[in-house]
Chain A
Amino acid sequence: MDGSSGRRRARLALAAGVLLGLAYPIPLQWSGYTYFHTVGFLVLINAMLGVGWNVIGGWAGQFDFGPQVFFAIGAYTAAILFVHVGLSPWLGMLAGVLAAMGICALVTYPLTRLRGHYFAISTVAIWMIAQPIGATWEFINGSRGLFIPMQGAQGVLGATASLQFAGRTKALGYYYVAFGLLGLTLWLLRLVEHSKLGFYFRAIRDDQEGAEGIGIDSRLYKVIARSITAAVFAAGGVLYGFWALAVFPEQVLDLNWSTLPIMATVVGGIGRLWGPVLGAVILIPISQIMSTTLGTGPLAGRGIDLIVYGVIIVLIAALRPTGILSLPWSRWARRLAGRPASGRLVGHG
C-alpha cells in the first residue's frame, strides 16, 4: 500500500460522486415528481456554504457565526441590480461577491483584534446589527424585501443565462446550477488549500504567535480567509434569492444560513475540503425526509428533525470532534479487502 493507490481510490470516489450527483435527478424528472430535486438543491447549496465556511472556521480556525450577513449582501446586491438596472444575475453574482468581500474586509479588519470566543461573539454582534438595518432600510424596501420579476427567457440557454428556470424544469435547472457552483467552489478552494495562502491559514490556526514569528501578518490573513468565506456565501445568496424569486431580511439573514453549513462541516470533518459535502448529504435530507414521513401526524412540525440534528452534533463533539471523514477509512477499506492492516495511516483529506 502506498500513497498513490490511496490517491487513485480518492479519484475513483470523486468520479463516482460526480456521476451520481449528475444522474440523481434524471429518473425523478422522468416520473415528473420534482420534490427531491429541491432536497438535492438544498443539500448542494448548504454543502457549498459549508465548504466556504471551512476557510475561516476550519483552516484559519476563527469561529464565524455571522456569515449569513454576506449571504444577504450577495442576494440583495444581485436582486437590486436585476430589478433596477436589469443587470444579468451572473454579473449580479459577481458584483454581489465583490461587494460582500469588500464589506467583509472593512468590517472584519478591526474585529481581528479580538481573539477566540471574543471574535466569535463579535461576528454574532455584526449579524445583530445587520438585522435592524435590513428591516428598516428603505432603499432595499425594508422588511417587505424585493421581489424578482420573471423575465420569461426561452430555452435552456436563455434560462441559464437569466438564472430563471420555470415550470417543469425549474427544480432541475436550479439543481444543476447549484451542482456547478459547488463544483467551482470546491475546485477554487482546492487551489487555495494547496497554495501558500492555505498553509498560512492553517499556521495561524495552529499557532498564531509562531506564525507571526515567521512573518505572517495574522490579522491580514484572517481578513483574507473571512473574505473568501464571504464570497462563497454571497454567491450562494444570489442563487437562493433567484430560486426563491424574492429577497427579504428575515429570509436571507436567517440564523440557519450559518448553523446548517457549520453543522454540515462539523459532522463531515472540519478543516477537510470534502467534509461539508459529506455532512450536508447526511444532515439536510433528514429534515426533508422527516417532514414528509411525519406528514400531518401528531409529531409533525414538532422539531423532531432538529432533535436528531442535536443528538448527531452532540455525539460527534463527544466521540469524534474531527468529523466522519477523519475516521480511519482507508484502514477499514484495506481490512475489508482482506489485507492485513499495516497500522499506518494512508489517509487523505
Chain B
Amino acid sequence: MTLLLQAIVNGLEMGFLYALVAVGLTIIWGLMEMINFAHGEFLMLGMFGAWWASVAFGLDPLLSIVPVGLAMYALGVLVYRQLMRRVQRGDPFTQIFATVGLLFLLQNSAVAVFTSDYRYLSDTLLTRLSGANVNLLGITIGVPLLIGALLALVLFLALYLLIDRTEFGLALRATAEDREAAMLVGIRPQKMFAVAWGLGAALVAVAGAILANFFAVFPQVGFPFTVLAYAIVALGGFGSILGTLLAALLVGVVQSVTTVYLPPAFKDAFVFASYIVIGLCRPQGLFGRF
C-alpha cells in the first residue's frame, strides 16, 4: 500500500513537470490548432540553454529560465513568421512536414554543435538539494522534484490566468475560434499566432531549463517528450489549460504506478493505451468543453 502511495506521489511530482512541457503545446496545438512536431526540440534547446548558462556563466537554471525563455520566445516568433505562416493556409499535412523538417534541423544542429554525449548539470541549487527528503506518513518526497513541481504549478497558474482571464487571452481564443470575425473586431491574427508560437516555445524551453536539473541533456532528448505532450494535450481536451494539467498529472501517475507492477519498458505503453481508450470513448478529451 505504501509502495502504491509512494508511486502515486512520485507520479504527481513528475506530472507537474509534464504539465509544463505540454502547456506550450496546448497553446500552439490545442488552442491555435497548428501542429508542431519540433516541440520537444524547443525543450531540448531550453535544456542546452540552461546547461550552457550554467557552465559558461555559473548561472543557476532557476535563474537562467528568464534569458532562456526570452530567447526561445524570439525563436518561436521567428519560426512562425518565416515558416509556419507560409504553410498555415495549405493542407494540414504541410504543417506536419514543415515541423518534422524543423525537428531534424534543430536536433541534428545540436548534434553538430554539442555531439550526442550526455551532459549533466551539477552544483545547481536543486542538484545540491538532492538527498534532502520530506517524510510524510511513511512516504518520501524528494525536495528538488518538489521545488520543480511547485515552480511548474506557479508558471502554469500564471498562464491559466493569462489565457482565461485577460483581454489578451480572449483575443488569442477569438483568433483561434474565427480568424475573420476576430479581424472585424480589430485583432490581427498574424500577430496573435506569432505571440502564441513565441509563448509556446518560451514555456517549453523554461520547462527544459527546469528539467535539466533532473535529466541528462542531449540532442535526442526531445522526441519522447513530444509524443508524451501530444498524448497529454489530446487527453486533457483541446484548448483546456486546466485539462492539460490534470491529464499531465494522470500521465505521471499512470507511468509511475505501471513501473511498480510491470517492467519499466511498459511505462509509456499504458499512457498511450489510455490515450487510445479515452480517445475512442470520449473524443473531446477528459476535460474538453466541446
How far apart sit A299 and B85, CA to CA, in the bound complex (Å)?
33
Known: A303-B112, A321-B91. A129 touches B101 (CB 8 A): no
Q: Which of B94-121 contact A (CB under 8 A)?
A: 94-98, 100-109, 111-112, 115
Contact B269 A317 (CB under 8 A): no
Candidates A129, A133, A135, A314; contact of B272 at CB < 8 Å:
A129
Contact B227 A304 (CB under 8 A): no
Contact A316 B104 (CB under 8 A): no
Known: A125-B275, A125-B276. A310 touches B102 (CB 8 A): yes
Known: A129-B272, A321-B97. A110 touches B280 (CB 8 A): yes
Decide yes or no whether B92 CB sits under 8 A from chain A.
yes
Decide yes or no whether B265 CB sits under 8 A from chain A.
yes
Q: Mark A90-133, 1 if CB is under 8 A from B, else 0.
A: 00000000000000000000110110111011101110110111
Known: A111-B276, A132-B269, A321-B91. A306 touches B97 (CB 8 A): no
Nearest residue (CB) in B for A270 is B93
Contact B97 A302 (CB under 8 A): no
Give the residue among B86, B90, B227, B279 with the most A Cβ atoms within 10 A: B279
Candidates A63, A122, A302; contact of B279 at CB < 8 Å:
A122
Contact A302 B283 (CB under 8 A): no
What are the residues of chain B within 8 A of A303 when measuring CB–CB? 107-109, 111-112, 219
Write the nearest CB–CB distance from A255 to chain B, whole angstroms. 8
Known: A114-B279, A132-B266, A318-B86. A299 touches B100 (CB 8 A): no
Write the nearest CB–CB distance from A53 to chain B, whole angstroms. 12
What are the residues of chain B within 8 A of A118 when measuring CB–CB? 234, 279, 283
What are the residues of chain B within 8 A of A136 when measuring CB–CB? 263, 265-266
What are the residues of chain B within 8 A of A117 when measuring CB–CB? 29, 35, 92
Known: A128-B272, A306-B104. A317 touches B230 (CB 8 A): no
Q: Is the interface of A mostly helix, strand, loop or mixed?
A: helix
Contact B104 A313 (CB under 8 A): yes
Known: A135-B265, A307-B109, A314-B98. A121 touches B280 (CB 8 A): no
What are the residues of chain A within 8 A of B29 when measuring CB–CB? 117
Known: A122-B275, A132-B266, A136-B263. A314 touches B86 (CB 8 A): no
What are the residues of chain A within 8 A of B216 when measuring CB–CB? none
Number of A-B contacts (CB under 8 A): 127
Q: Give the total of A residues in contact with B, Cβ under 8 Å.
A: 45
What are the residues of chain B within 8 A of A266 when measuring CB–CB? 97
Candidates A61, A121, A270, A304; contact of B275 at CB < 8 Å:
A121
How far apart sit A57 and B273, CA to CA, in the bound complex (Å)?
23
Q: Mark B255-284, 1 if CB is under 8 A from A, else 0.
A: 000000001011011011101100110010
How far apart sit A307 and B103, CA to CA, in the bound complex (Å)?
9
Contact B227 A120 (CB under 8 A): no
What are the residues of chain B within 8 A of A316 when measuring CB–CB? 97, 101
Contact B98 A302 (CB under 8 A): no
Contact A302 B111 (CB under 8 A): yes
Known: A111-B276, A317-B87, A321-B97. A311 touches B105 (CB 8 A): yes
Contact A113 B280 (CB under 8 A): yes
Decide yes or no whether A175 CB sits under 8 A from chain B.
no
Contact B108 A128 (CB under 8 A): no
Q: Mark B121-159, 1 if CB is under 8 A from A, else 0.
A: 000000000000000000000000000000000000000
Decide yes or no whether B181 CB sits under 8 A from chain A.
no
Decide yes or no whether B231 CB sits under 8 A from chain A.
yes
Decide yes or no whether A309 CB sits under 8 A from chain B.
yes
Decide yes or no whether A312 CB sits under 8 A from chain B.
yes
Q: Which residues of B contact A (CB under 8 A)?
A: 29, 35, 83, 86-87, 90-98, 100-109, 111-112, 115, 219, 223, 227, 230-231, 234, 263, 265-266, 268-269, 271-273, 275-276, 279-280, 283
Q: Which residues of A contact B (CB under 8 A)?
A: 57, 61, 63, 110-111, 113-114, 116-118, 120-122, 124-126, 128-129, 131-133, 135-136, 255, 259, 263, 266, 270, 299, 302-304, 306-307, 309-318, 321
6 closest cross-chain pairs (CB), A and B? A313-B101, A310-B104, A310-B105, A303-B108, A125-B272, A314-B101
